[in-house]
Amino acid sequence: MPLRLDPPALPEWEQPFATVQEQSRQLGLRAFVVGGYVRDRLLGGERGKTIREVDILVDGRGATQLATAVGSALKLRPPVIFERFGTAHLDLDHRALEFVSSRVESYAPSSRKPDVRPGTLEEDVMRRDFTINTLLMDWDGTVLDLTGRALQDLEARRIMTPLEPASTFDEDPLRMLRAVRFATTLQFSLDPSVESAIRAQAGRLQPPVVSMERIRDEFSKLIVAEQVQRGLELLDATRLLPKIVPQLEMGKGMQQGGWHSHDVFGHSLLTASLAPPELITRLAALLHDVGKPAVHELKDGKPTFIGHQEIGAGMAGAALRHLRYPGELTDAVVKLVRLHMRPIQYDPQGWEDKAVRRLVRDAGDQLERLLALARADMRASHYPDVKKIDDLEARIRRIDTQAIAAIRSPLTGEDLMARTGRPAGPWIKRVKTALEDAIIDGTLAPDAQAAWRYLEAHPELLQP
């Protein structure tokens, strides 16, 4: 008896499915749901309840024609059509339909752009990345497994390729990273042949074979997964992690002493797993100690890492720029890495309110993430608890954080250059920061005249 999904359409997909079915009938086309929708419905759980994107596979030609007809019937904007590949994207309300005609792709050895030609349904599913993404669903809910093993792999919670893994990865090496990402997010295992093929071809996961943007997008999905530590360990075991974040390699085997329970590498992965599942915080957690190997010294037989925050901030910025992350995200992660020790160094008895206000000012809009990072960092060691971070957060709530965030130097760079006759340079930022600190400490009124008097009383601030 064939396997059948009942009902075939989730409530929010009833109208789009009915429309696709009717329009394909009118056009004389055979169309099926393929891929993630079928996979996630069969897996059940939360993934099978809310599905935002559905792939429609059209037998032979006609995907773009069907997409246009469906969009018109649903009174949507015309689909975005990619003529070369015979595909179309149709936006619904916070959802999307992707249409593709069954096809065969072949790659010349010197090119990553495929030669695309029409193919049968069987040929189409065999060119896909993993067996669990090849399942088709007819409109009555009947599930079709044209590979003959996709349902077995799904039941076994196993990542396997339709063709020999080496062939599948040779066509598109990004699939190696996708294999680990799916194993992580779905909590599946890699088939041994897949894991072996990834290790053998790991060196191909880099430009110009695969763009950094594509690598970044897959890595980002893995980073926010529930089992991120397992995913990172799997990336490391398959030799992919050094191709993505080589800065982590030097932390392997570097013991830290003190409260720490892991080497720098293991501590970084554990910290990432304990951080909230949000991209900026997780990236900061993964990279927060990346500077330690560069400053490692032994003093009286004990390891020290003085200044690792600043070195690490620069290394984190370089890593994220290499992965083509946006500047705003990179800046946020760099700030978190630079400041990550400040909350951990908090002393409930020794810190005056002005020290708390300075932390609030320095963290700015990353304050909440910084406290979350501190908690994860401490929990990834033998620290007894994180009560002092709770105490710090309570003190911060009693402070007017908006007023602190609004504090600006009463003197601009132009003011300082005009009065002193000196050219622009790092000294301007140093002076402005000193003035802002004085305002936070309550020793300077926030006006220009008071600021000039303050500088007259502290001439060392204007020294080269």
Q: How confident is the model at residue 298 (pLDDT cuts 50, 70, 90)?
A: confident
Q: How confident is the model at residue 259 (pLDDT cuts 50, 70, 90)?
A: confident
**Are 87 and 63 within 8 A, CB to CB?**
yes
Q: Is 269 helix (H, G, I), strand (E, B) or coil?
A: helix
331 DSSP β-pair partners: none
Cis status, amide bond into 7, omega within 30 of 0: yes
pLDDT at 78 over 70: yes
Enter the tokens of residue 77: 């904007």
| Rg of the chain in Å (alpha carbons) | 28
Q: Which helix (H) or strand (E) holds 429?
A: helix 426-441
3-class SS letters over 66-126: HHHHHHHHCCCCCCEEECCCCEEEEECCCCEEEEEECEEEECCCCCCCCEEEECCHHHHHH
* Higher per-residue confidence, 300 vs 377: 377
Q: Provide the CATH number for the domain formed by 1-151 in this structure.
A: 3.30.460.10
Going edge to edge, which strands form the sheet with 31-34? 80-82, 87-91, 96-101, 53-58, 31-34, 136-137, 143-144
Question: What does the alpha-carbon distance between residue 123 and residue 67 come to, in Å, rounded to a whole number?
Answer: 22
Q: State how beta strands 158-159 and 143-144 pair.
A: unpaired
pLDDT at 106 over 70: no
Which residue has 């080497």 as its token pair?
A: 263
DSSP assigned state of 422: P
Q: Which helix (H) or strand (E) holds 158?
A: strand 158-159
DSSP assigned state of 61: S
Q: pLDDT tens for residues 142-177?
A: 999 999 999 999 999 999 999 999 999 998 999 999
Question: What does the alpha-carbon distance between residue 276 and residue 364 come to, in Å, rounded to a whole number?
Answer: 19
- Fold of the CATH domain 157-244: cca-adding enzyme, domain 2 (1.10.3090)
Most confident of 79-83, 175-179, 258-262: 175-179
List the domain boundaries for the chain: 1-151, 157-244, 275-405, 413-462
Tell me the average pLDDT of the chain: 93
